[in-house]
Chains A and B, each alone.
Chain A
């Protein structure tokens, strides 16, 4: 009898939990920038994600120091800077920032991928800094210097939510020594980036070339093509390669096109079947991956431009050795005649809202960002970390021009696109990646993998457009 009563009590408690009206759910006002008087002394905190403090990306945070000096002089105030380079990966960094923002202890400025704009904007963690590109360009001369197209990456719901900090091209690298051993002439090797650009060399040609290398015995089986060994935005490039759209331009809704996705999965299945890629490449540790692609003769591999600086920084090779071994071009298209392309994922300065920080100095933070956005500071960061220019003036800067690798990638801008600023893009990418791995390993056929993605995303992203 007692047990029965207890059972009823438990059920009642559960019913209360699940049927409570939304008495606790409050509303939050849209974050705004307030015009407040500055105190004579204040501390400014900046968090930069996925950047070890002693690594090549350290200036994303450290540029705050000279910027603060400039602002101090102008306003006659004293600023104590607290620039934090956080080595945590993007996922961990996001979690850290989210929880800090919820606790009202977010840093004043956060440096993260532009894809966080939609999510953090929706959450009220960051503030829009202008209502249009024209407005932001008029705010500070430094912002007027930003390459126009980059503002698209930080635009969400018609407003500007951040300032680009750098741009990371994603090349397809190829091993020139192996191509030479396969009988390619020096001229043919030098022409390869141009053939990729014009659509004369597609992913299909890449498979054929790598298969030829393996057949000739020049390329070790499984070393024909290596892709990233871990999740990341890069894989969307192989969906775009077959014509897949990611976002509807009018509505801003995410788009999933099943045929390009099926072709992408078919590509990833075939590279394993033809013994060009290890079946279990996903899960290889990054250390092993980098050492293999640089020192153990992989014919084609895709990665980021920033890796170039990492290889030098880690001592995997000298720059002369890299130039001798590696060539680089756009990601080839999967469709003959279609030009190659690359994904840009600008790292972005964003300003935390008053709710997220408990402080009303957002206007000052925008000014600080303007002072971090200079030719000198951005070029120093670009050259050191192998990131591309974000300012028009950098393209004429002698130090920037002196960097051969960055100069070689200059044309990437014309063939670049951005990941969408949609709050649920992470789920979209996760689902595509997981089924890609299943297709690559042969656990699902490409058709089954597509079906799985469709079934999953239909549940997870209700407004997804499926074509």
Chain B
């Protein structure tokens, strides 16, 4: 009896001792290997390859075998091209407007509204907002093009603007920037919407109800309960969508091809490196343009991680310390 008590006492005060090699030995290596290989092959290698190509004069003329090193030549060219500054500002405006008004702003608004109305209605509206994301890009953009076209083909111009005596030309070129923000925003909003909705719905009901019992209005509850509780999802969506928007160009490519002041940096890299009516692709210069984007992306990521203190999210649970 004493023995057993002593044994159980020992068991309570002493944590089981796992072999030490599990913490420091080769096991961690094997566990990390798959993820490490994927990271190296699909994340680091493309960055290195982009940087290497950006230091060459590789183009259709040189092919992939007859290129020469040009050092920072492509970057010097980039600095002296008249389009560079314009592309930079277009990109900045595009990311900022799409992020603020749609990918975060609209996403948050939809999440808040659809969690404050009857559940089934909320689910229905969120499903509707998913439609742009699940529609094939070409079909989705074609729809916008036809909406914007001049009469008698344009949906907006023929049915709304013309009867009201408004402008009747093709709306797309005159409002190209607005259109690229709308086209991307309607797709992008659903990502944040889903994350915010699930975050709001995971807030403990006793806090939500208690706030109302204590006399808070719905708006006050959003301001003082919901927003602080979904701070981390908000930061995550902002970070992720900024980087995502910086490198997105597919919808813009299909919608405008980069005309009328919509050639964002990523599209510029594509157009220079891989798209030319007569097939002259400047892989080197295109890679240099893309490399700037990679560096911008890394800087943004570091900035967000530092400013939003992502490290705090990664702290080991304090319960282990006890």
Contacts of A455 in B (CB 8 A): 82
1/0 per residue, CB under 8 A from B, across A331-373: the answer is 0000000000000000000000000000000000000000000
Q: Does residue B233 face the partner (Cβ distance < 8 Å to A)?
A: no
Query: Which residues of the partner chain B approach A19 to less than 8 Å between Cβ atoms?
Result: 69, 71
Contact bitstring B232-276, A, C-beta under 8 A = 1, else 0: 000000000000000000000000100110000000000000111
Given A28-B66, A283-B173, A456-B83, A429-B277 contact (CB < 8 Å): yes
Contacts of A437 in B (CB 8 A): 259-260
Given A278-B170, A284-B149, A437-B259, CB of A94 within 8 Å of CB of B64: no
* Cα separation A458 to B31 with both chains bound (whole Å): 55
Contact indicator B51/A424 (Cβ below 8 Å): no
- The segment from A63-71, A78-86, A118-126 found at the interface with B is A118-126
Task: Give the shortest distance, in Å, between A232 (CB) and chain B (any CB).
Answer: 7
A423 adjacent to B169 (CB under 8 Å): no
In Å, the complex CA distance between A283 and B274 comes to: 21
Quote the shortest CB–CB distance from A225 to chain B (angstroms): 15
Q: Give the docked Cα–Cα distance between A414 and B117 (Å).
A: 74
Bound CA span A282–B256, Å: 10
| CB–CB A279/B174 < 8 A | yes
Interface pair A231/B279, CB less than 8 Å apart: no
Q: Is the CB of A95 within 8 A of B279?
A: yes
Chain B interface, DSSP helix/strand/loop, else mixed: loop
Q: Is B172 on the interface with A (CB-CB < 8 A)?
A: yes
Q: Which of A73-116 contact B (CB under 8 A)?
A: 90-91, 93-95, 97-98, 101-102, 113, 115-116
Structural contact, B67 and A430, CB atoms closer than 8 A: no
- The answer, among A20, A28, A94, A231, for a CB contact under 8 Å with B65, is A28
Choose from B145, B150, B279 the contact partner of A94 (Cβ within 8 Å).
B279
B interface residues, tally (CB under 8 Å): 47
A285 within 8 A of partner (CB): yes
CA of A281 to CA of B171, assembled, Å: 10
B80 interface residue (CB < 8 Å to A): yes
User: Which residues in B have their C-beta under 8 angstroms from that of A424?
Assistant: 280
Neighbour of A427 across the interface among B83, B170, B276, CB < 8 A? B276
Residues of A within 8 Å of B72, CB to CB, are 18
Residue A459, interface by CB 8 Å? yes
Q: Which residues of B contact A98 (CB under 8 A)?
A: 60, 279, 281
At the interface, yes or no: B201 with Cβ under 8 Å from chain A? no
Residues of A within 8 A of B (CB): 14, 17-22, 25-28, 90-91, 93-95, 97-98, 101-102, 113, 115-116, 119-120, 122-125, 222, 231-233, 278-285, 287-288, 291, 296, 423-427, 429-430, 434, 437, 441, 452, 455-456, 459-460
* Besides A119-B278, A452-B82, 15 new A-B residue pairs in contact (Cβ under 8 A), listed by A number: A17-B55, A95-B279, A116-B278, A120-B279, A278-B150, A279-B173, A280-B172, A280-B174, A282-B173, A283-B176, A283-B260, A423-B61, A424-B280, A427-B280, A441-B260
